Amino acid sequence: MDLSFLSEEKTITVSSEQDLIEKIFFLLDSVNSDFSENLVVFPGKRPAHYLRKAIAEKLKKPFIPPKIFSADEFIDFLFYKIDKSKPLEALDAVTIIYEICKEKDLLKPHFRKFDNFLSFGFKLYNAFEELCIECITPEKLKEVETVIEIPQASGSSLKFLSEIYREFYDKLKELSFSTRSLRYKAVSEIQDFGTLLPFQKIIFAGFFAFTETEKRILKKLSKLSEFLFLLQSHDNYIKLDKVKFYSCPDVHAEVKIVGQIIKNLEFDEKTVVVLPNSETLMPLLRQGISYLTEKDYNISMGYPLSRTPIFGFFMNLFEVINTMENSQVYVPTYLDFMLHPYTKNILFRGSAELNRVIFHEMEKILKDEEILFIELERVEEEISSRISHNLGFPAEEVKQHLSFVHENTIKRFTLLNSVASLAEAVKEVLSFVYEKTTARFHPLFYPYVEAFFNEFEKLSRSLISKYKFDSYFNFFRNFTDSLRFPFHGTPLKGLQILGFLETRNIKFKKVIFLDLNEGVFPDLSEDYILPYTVRKILGLSTYQDREKLIYHYFMNLLKGAEEVHLIYVKDNKTERSRFIEKIIWEAEKKEKRLIKSDIVEPVTYRLRLKTRFPEEIKKTEKIMNVLKNIVFSASAIDDYLRCGIRFYYNYVLKLTKKKRLDADIEKTDIGVIVHEVLKRFFSTKINKFLTPKELDEDIEKIINEVFTEKYGDNLKGVIYLIKRQVVKRVREFLEYHKNIINSQTLKIISTEESFEEELFGSRFICRLDRVDLRDGKPVIVDYKISKNSDDYKIKFERLNINQRESWKAVGSIQIPLYILLYSKKYSINIENIKGYYFFLGRPVVDDSSYLDPLSSYGVEGIKTVLKLIERILKEINDKELPFLSTQDFKNICKYCDYQPLCGVFIVPSKTS
């Protein structure tokens, strides 16, 4: 480190093994425990707490502390003695830069929208501030700016950065604003520090690298007799007997090992967990040290607001606004928002539980109806009425509650007309969530809300507050991405959880350092506005200088500790930090030996890779009572054929997978829509003999009705293409039926007919998609949206009723069962009834779309199925026979909804 601008007699070197704080204590002047005539300046804020505590422990009596500043606080202290300029917020700085660029027509179309410019604007501002604090003039920048690469979207005109740079700071002077760099620069121009700093001793401690303005300030300060500079130094060698290395497969293993280390430690404020990656904080708290209470540790670091639940809540809310069409909300995103933990815990009658019941009932109704777009007013009127009917709540009360939720969340953002209105809406919604939900009981909720509230309060007063945007959603996301929630814990209690910079100049006895991976620590990513070559020409710091700075503080931290734990992730994508490699290399040079790889303790997961076979389920009296009241269906018998345990979960426990409205409309099954269209079409033809003319009537009208109900009036893009496919498929289907009526008469007897009948003492229900009368004989038609007919075939040649293993030859008993039940209900000989599956998903509508599962077996096939049904019912109703799992795990379990319940999956064991 170059300290040539300081005289040697003003510099005191402190080794990293020594306690810098304790050294400062012995240098302070005091009279009767009064240290107020001393000024101490550190790079950061945190050492001040440790210095005050050290004085208290030494004196063991009351005292007046010295004046202690961080570097920025010291500069502000001096600046506001000579200048009253207002401090400029970063967002206001970006706004001024944007307006300068826009006025000079320097922006290409993409960046003319402020929300697109925002991220780039912050980078420009940071670059300007670095140039300013290093005393780089616009003229000097102009000499090199032609080699600066600018994002393509901004255009080549932005290569004239010097012009914007000059005008930006001229504008700040005109508006009486100051930035951090301007304040440093102004202080560096002070000629007489003595009158501004009436202290007997001025100590600067723990600094390593300096900007040009800092060098000028220190050079002038060093001329004062009261001034001292404390420099921490170190060699690069650490004894490896106090260091433990851990390689982990992922972050979860990292935080688990931290938890195990801390369990075996006696920790206090001299024990630190260092997190260079703030995203590791929550896994650490929730998984690593969850056994500790909040009183046991202190957190001090910046945490991205975009990682908080509040950000996720607003993302869900804005997604609702973003996907609205013609005042209708898109139901999948609407439900995602309404079922967000904050929203679904809004109080109803003072209870979050009652609100959850209402919202889940609403979810069920909307999904059962397969509604994709709906007006909020319809939810408040029609859906609320159905909710109240189903749950027994007063209709008006449910309506008012849903309206209350909509008014205080979604509707707050439907009429935004400026950034100020966005900020106001965010604050109002935050207040609503705080006052009307259970979220406030979460320990971190209030600090998060306070941070959001403060930032959006500043936004409402900013220079950009009057701006209008096409998408406030994008602006919110880009703005929030730049914000950090500052954990400002008291450093004098318990385990310290700190960001790396918060550890500077503090001597910890025990250090646990996570995420020691390249790209994370050190983070040496380049700024694309001022790349390496430009930095070298201008004399700015490069990634090499930043690496030296980080390594200096890293080594001071480790060498001052008695016990060190260094933890990193090892997988096929990441490498351990170069600093670990350097520690081992320096040890090898010093000790003149190769350091074995066994100094690293691997943290691994052990897996038992075996399938767990589900246990049989014995039938209790309760189960038998349920079985007595079951109304069977073809699906129930098919499920039992596949797996007895599946039947038990579905029909005894009645556990069903929650229906999902697919948020990706492209994946909507066209067959489902075709099925609905055909049902409606043929219901208008009941008791009519079909003619070619009959098959051409009303179909377009019915298709339009179905699409309007399902998608509203939003018939654009993908939905329009789906409609075209549906029209094509339905017309192909009807054309095929014209061929049928050319060879036989066809009369529609019924559509969607449902009835119950009894077989072998058990009740059965069936729902027939369509029943025709063809040449005077009934034909049952069952639509299948699938294209695969193999799942419905019955291989009679392989079926032996007495050999249970052979039952897997039955794909489905649906059509034979329907024929049996229809025959019984209407007293028709089974020989005169036919049945077919019709596969709507087939690429071509022709004879291959039909499947007769009885094929050439006819009546004998039905009789065989009847015997099989009798055997199955006896098994089901036999208390001594348990429900057994399938033996065909590969095919039956693969897509089964109950797989997690019965345990047919790989089970991981504990972490070692």
Distance CA(503)–CA(275), nearest Å, equals 10
> In sequence order, what are the residues at sequence separation of 6 or more whose Cβ sits closer than 8 angstroms to the Cβ of residue 430?
310, 449, 452, 453
Distance CA(341)–CA(366), nearest Å, equals 19
Token reading at 406 = 């909509």
**Residue 65: DSSP 8-state:** P
Distance CA(471)–CA(456), nearest Å, equals 17
| Position 489, amino acid | G
Q: What is residue 905's three-state secondary structure?
A: coil
> What does the pLDDT read at residue 904?
59
818, 833 in Cβ contact below 8 A? no
Number of H helices, E strands in the chain: 33, 24
Strand order in the sheet with 834-839: 746-759, 762-774, 777-784, 834-839, 850-851
The dihedral sign for the CA sequence 863, 867, 870, 876? negative
> What does the pLDDT read at residue 745?
92
Token reading at 724 = 């075209």
According to the 3-state scheme, what is the secondary structure of 19-62?
CHHHHHHHHCCCECCECCCEEEEECCCCHHHHHHHHHHHHHCCC
- Which of 409, 389, 410 lies closest to 398 in space, CA to CA? 389
| Position 850, amino acid | Y
280, 515 in Cβ contact below 8 A? yes
The dihedral sign for the CA sequence 751, 752, 755, 758? positive
Chain centroid to Cα 809, Å, comes to 45
CA distances from 233 to 16, 505, 553 (A): 6, 11, 10
> What does the pLDDT read at residue 661?
62
> In sequence order, what are the residues at sequence separation of 6 or more whose Cβ sits closer than 8 angstroms to the Cβ of residue 14?
20, 23, 230, 231, 232, 233
Q: What is residue 665's three-state secondary structure?
A: helix
Any idea which residue has 């006052």 for tokens?
Answer: 435
Distance CA(600)–CA(245), nearest Å, equals 5
First to last CA, the chain: 44
> What does the pLDDT read at residue 353?
94
- Which of 323, 313, 311 lies closest to 414 in space, CA to CA? 323
Alpha helices in 222-330 (DSSP H): 251-263, 281-283, 309-322
Token reading at 679 = 């049902």
830, 862 in Cβ contact below 8 A? yes
> In sequence order, what are the residues at sequence separation of 6 or more whose Cβ sits closer than 8 angstroms to the Cβ of residue 141?
131, 161, 162, 165, 538
DSSP for 412-433, written as a single string: GGTT--SHHHHHHHHHHHHHHH
> In sequence order, what are the residues at sequence separation of 6 or more whose Cβ sits closer than 8 angstroms to the Cβ of residue 292?
262, 495
| Position 336, amino acid | D
Specify the DSSP element, H or E, that contains 82.
helix 71-82
Distance CA(271)–CA(297), nearest Å, equals 10
Distance CA(912)–CA(541), nearest Å, equals 43
User: For residue 566, which phi and psi values (nearest 5 degrees)?
Assistant: -110, 125
Token reading at 409 = 């969340």
> What does the pLDDT read at residue 654?
87
847, 837 in Cβ contact below 8 A? no
Distance CA(827)–CA(536), nearest Å, equals 96
Token reading at 625 = 């009572």
Distance CA(475)–CA(477), nearest Å, equals 5
Q: What is the pLDDT of residues 273-311, one digit of tens each?
A: 999 999 999 999 999 999 998 889 999 888 888 989 999
Q: What is the pLDDT of residues 91-140, one digit of tens each?
A: 999 999 999 998 888 888 888 888 888 888 999 999 999 999 999 999 99
Q: What is residue 716's three-state secondary structure?
A: coil
- Which of 815, 823, 728, 719 lies closest to 777 in space, CA to CA? 823
> What does the pLDDT read at residue 154?
44
Instruction: Residue 365: count other Cβ atoms within 10 Å of its Cβ.
Output: 17
- Which of 518, 520, 474, 580 lies closest to 113 in space, CA to CA? 474
**Residue 810: DSSP 8-state:** B
> In sequence order, what are the residues at sequence separation of 6 or more whose Cβ sits closer than 8 angstroms to the Cβ of residue 428?
408, 412
Distance CA(883)–CA(646), nearest Å, equals 9
Any idea which residue has 């730049």 for tokens?
Answer: 482
> What does the pLDDT read at residue 206?
93
13, 231 in Cβ contact below 8 A? yes
- Those residues of the chain that have pLDDT short of 50 are 153-157, 663, 665-668, 906-912
766, 656 in Cβ contact below 8 A? no
> What does the pLDDT read at residue 906?
37
Token reading at 368 = 């059962």
> What does the pLDDT read at residue 284?
95
